Amino acid sequence: MKDILQETWMIEMIRTLTNMYNHGWDERNGGNVSMLLDEGQVADCLDTGKVIRIIPTGFPVPALAGRYFLVTGTGKYFKNVQYAPEVNLGIVRITAPGDEAELLWGFSDGGQFTSEFAAHMMSHAARLEVNPDNRIYMHCHPTNLLAMTYVHELDERAFTRTLWQMCTECIVVYPDGVNILPCMVCGTNQLGLDTAEKMKTARLVIWSQHGLSGMGNTLDEAFGLIETVEKAAEVYMKIAGLPRVNTISDEILRGLAERFGLTPKEGYLS
């Protein structure tokens, strides 16, 4: 058996969570991340027939039956993951009909996965229908984006256009824009259902006055999406109270999309 803590995907997860904390996106136990793993990746390191315990998921997602996830724990601080990964992370296998998970590794202090795991599962299932290569769900609380949801109208087209206009790389990184949900009680199945629906048309979903969820094929992709949105929000918050003398025009945005062979969200450019 290989040493699970030396596997590339585990090292990348630990480094990413540490980086998220260091960016100020995940204060205290804020934020959560899950990674869809292939059975072979898990079998190389663990006896997949040895189940430590069963944990209810809180919502049935039969489409994920038999799938494996590396996921952050509830109440865990990202800053501690690098020092005690087996306490703060867990590997689970979803059972049929998808309303329970078998713990195969981790959560060694008796803990369990994030309280938002139902939202993760629903979004993974929804996103896999759009993109079979999707592997990552990442949720955090970027400061400037959070602030922006208090002062900017929450219309998805208007919000996306504002972000695109803050930096030329934005339309290149997320031409599908951002989707937005109103402020809702966190940890609920309804929030999970609504987020999953939004994930069908964009890889980024803003939870107003709460944070941001991003999805991608890799940790780098999901992290990069969030990082780019947060930079745009930071620029916006620095200039929001000032007269705007210049901006990035729709002509430039369209030119950027053409230059990189991308299709901006339909109807978002004038």
Where among 100, 115, 130 does a domain terminate?
115
Catalytic center residues:
116
201 and 134, same structural domain? yes
Q: What are phi and psi of 103, to 5 degrees?
A: -80, 120
Where among 67, 83, 115 does a domain terminate?
115
Check the CA dihedral 106-68-14-212 and report its sign: negative
Check the CA dihedral 100-106-112-117 and report its sign: negative
254 and 123, same structural domain? yes
75 and 140, same structural domain? no
160 and 103, same structural domain? no
154 and 107, same structural domain? no
226 and 133, same structural domain? yes
Give me the domain span that covers residue 90: 1-115
Structurally, how many domains does the chain consist of? 2
22 and 9, same structural domain? yes
185 and 85, same structural domain? no
212 and 153, same structural domain? yes
pLDDT in tens, the chain (270 residues): 899 999 999 999 999 999 999 999 999 999 999 999 999 999 999 999 999 999 999 889 999 999 999 999 999 999 999 999 999 999 999 999 889 999 999 999 999 999 999 889 999 999 999 999 999 999 999 999 999 999 999 999 999 999 999 999 999 999 999 999 999 998 889 999 999 999 999 999 999 999 999 999 999 999 999 999 999 999 999 999 999 999 999 999 999 999 999 999 999 998
168 and 110, same structural domain? no
CB atoms within 10 A of CB 174: 25
120 and 109, same structural domain? no
